[in-house]
Amino acid sequence: MTTTATTHPASTTAATAQTTPCRTGDHILVTGGAGFIGSHLVERLLREGHRVVVIDDLSTGSLQNLQAVSGHPKLQFIESKVSVCPDLRDLVARAQKIFHLAAAVGVDLVVKSPIHTLETNLHETEVLFEAAAPHRVPTLIASTSEVYGKSAKPAFDEEDDLLIGPPHQARWGYACSKLMDEFLAMAYAREQGMPVVITRFFNTVGPRQTGRYGMVLPRLIAAAKSGAPLPVFGDGGQSRCFGYVLDTVEAVIRLLDNPAAHGQVFNIGGTEEISILDLARLVIELLGSKSSIQFIPYTEAYAPGFDDMRRRKPVTDKLARVTGFRPATSLRKIIELTAASL
């Protein structure tokens, strides 16, 4: 384990939320805080004056993501898996609240490393909850829209039934592991009175996101910038909604600070739906690129039998009702902000 005190950011955020008095503690714990979303959250918390402890094994995160706050006197960084961090129980006992963002991420990683995916998503969460439950530390766990599985609904509501695909397809192992995290969170809430919030992220994008693990928008932007063909899998007709990372940060902070959100599940994401083919065309237009579009069969991109969902759109009314906030950064603005950082 290495520990470094890690500079005050000048990050842009949505309007500051009304907060609710919460558990006394001397820091906020962020697992996966060197990741894409986690690093933006850490910057926001430090900017608000909090002391922050980050646990991250840097398997998919990077210290480069925390460069803007390197040397900040209120930031402690611990390079470790959650499950083997020797100071975990003490850190949890003294935490004001916990944001659990550590997880296996990206379609490429999920498909190519299914054992790592399952172990990371299940075991790390189990260890964290076991440590946090005796102290009833308010904990937010990041889940995913993947838990909605093969549902063909035009938009997904938190109360919907979930339809997971067969076990021989690795992507459903990822979905199931995150769903089990949700069930575990709810079990701790019911049985031990632990204040938990579950958030299902829908394609969060923005500066610092890498295309290394299969994230679609940074891959398209990188190709457009270099003049290479933009890769579009399948026929490109599958549609998605994209949420800006700082909107996601705003939402998770408001949710964990609000006791009315505890013990509940919330969708977080934008609701501006677009096909992947049209997304590629929009990236080319906004960047003034001369790139073409290259269609790649799923069998070449991943593996035979890969099962992609045609639509994935969140209903965010519950988030708006409980927090007064609804992600609203336009897709064009998100692409421009993301492209400027790559």
Mean of the pLDDT values across residues 195-203?
97
Given a cut of 50, whether residue 14 has pLDDT beyond it is no
Which phi and psi angles does 13 have, rounded to 5°? -130, 165
The rounded distance, in Å, linking the Cα atoms of 114 and 306 is 14
Largest CA distance in the chain: 58
Give the rounded percent of residues in the chain with a pLDDT score beyond 70: 89
pLDDT at 20: 39
Given a cut of 70, whether residue 1 has pLDDT beyond it is no
Write down the mean pLDDT value for the chain: 90
pLDDT at 276: 97
The rounded distance, in Å, linking the Cα atoms of 162 and 179 is 9
148 is catalytic: no
Given a cut of 70, whether residue 12 has pLDDT beyond it is no
Catalytic residue among 174, 213, 244, 302: 174
In whole angstroms, what separates CA 197 from the centre of its chain?
14
Joined together, the tokens standing for residue 189 give 């809430």
Query: Position of tokens 């049209």?
Result: 278
The rounded distance, in Å, linking the Cα atoms of 74 and 51 is 5
Scanning the chain, the segments in alpha helix (DSSP H) are: 36-47, 88-93, 107-112, 114-132, 170-192, 216-226, 245-256, 276-287, 298-301, 317-323, 331-341
Which of 7 and 246 is assigned the larger pLDDT? Answer: 246
Joined together, the tokens standing for residue 167 give 């076990």
3-state SS assignment for residue 328:
coil
Q: Please give the domain boundaries of the chain with CATH numbers for all domains.
A: 3-17+26-208+243-270+314-328 (3.40.50.720)
Query: Position of tokens 């299969």?
Result: 214
Q: Which of 294, 291, 295, 283 is nearest to 227 (CA)?
A: 291
Query: How many CB atoms are closer than 10 A to CB 23?
Result: 12
Give the rounded percent of residues in the chain with a pLDDT score beyond 90: 76
Q: Which of 201, 218, 202, 198 is nearest to 210 (CA)?
A: 218
Predicted confidence (pLDDT) per residue in 220-230, tens digit: 999 999 999 99
Question: Do β-strands 204-205 and 75-79 pair in parallel, antiparallel, or remain unpaired?
Answer: unpaired
